[in-house]
Amino acid sequence: MEQHKNIAEDELVVEQKHHEFLTENTDFEMRSLDATCFNESELQHPWWHNFKYAFVGLLFGILFVKAEVVSWFRIQEMFRLQSFHMYGIIGSAVVVGIISVWLIKKFKIKTIYGEPIEFVDKKFNKGQIYGGLLFGLGWAVTGACPGPLFAQIGSGATVITVTLLSAIAGTWVYGKFREQLPH
């Protein structure tokens, strides 16, 4: 009986902590510019827990190479409307993503640690247009978005390390001049 009560209390603590994070954090505008910085877990884990993300990434890298998502040629075909391949991949990924998120919301599915999964709305700013256009130019010329850059290097195109370093430099320059840019 006593034990049951404790478990219930513990769950309550986790629940409250998470909501506290969502209500008290007022930095969403800054954070929403970054795709990963919101909806994060409040739990503390030892560092080696990160290997589970490395494993998902590993499967993802194999997938990227085998489906030729990281192929410069497939990207050219996409932007020349010469192949359905990339449209099929992005389209079906989005459909599966929408269904998954809908199921998570509908059945209030929690993480394996029992944390609730919540979503934060993205705010519109003009950077999504200006930055989006600039990224599109880069995507078509390099044949890679950020994820495929890593997979291309892994699959033997070592010179893409330079492209990756340049992308990091681009991110840094954006951060440096962020205040002066129209948003």
Partner 1 sequence: MSLIDFIKQPWPWYVAGPLIGLTVPTLLIIGNKTFGISSSLRHICAACLPGKIPFFNYDWKKEVWNLFFVGGILLGGFIAFLFLQNPEPMIVNPNLSSELATYGITNYDSLVPTEVFNWSSLFTLRGFIMMVVGGFLVGFGTRYAGGCTSGHAIMGLSTLQWPSLVATISFMVGGFIMANLLLPFILKL
Contact with partner 1 (CB under 8 A): which of 12, 16, 17, 88?
88
Grouping H, G, I as helix, E, B as strand and the rest as coil, residue 36 is: coil
Nearest alpha carbon to residue 32 among 106, 98, 127, 96? 127
Grouping H, G, I as helix, E, B as strand and the rest as coil, residue 110 is: strand
Amino acid at 18: H
Contact with partner 1 (CB under 8 A): which of 13, 107, 149, 180?
149
CB nearer partner 1, residue 15 or residue 85: 85
CB nearer partner 1, residue 6 or residue 87: 87
Restricting to residues 8-37, name those near partner 1 by CB under 8 A: 32-37
Size, binding site for partner 1 by CB under 8 A: 127
CB nearer partner 1, residue 12 or residue 94: 94
Check if the beta carbon of residue 117 is closer than 8 Å to that of residue 14.
no
Contact with partner 1 (CB under 8 A): which of 10, 16, 17, 55?
55
Check if the beta carbon of residue 42 is closer than 8 Å to that of residue 17.
yes
Which single residue is written with the structure tokens 């890593």?
150
d(CA 88, CA 83): 9
CB nearer partner 1, residue 11 or residue 55: 55
Restricting to residues 157-176, name those near partner 1 by CB under 8 A: 157-160, 162-176
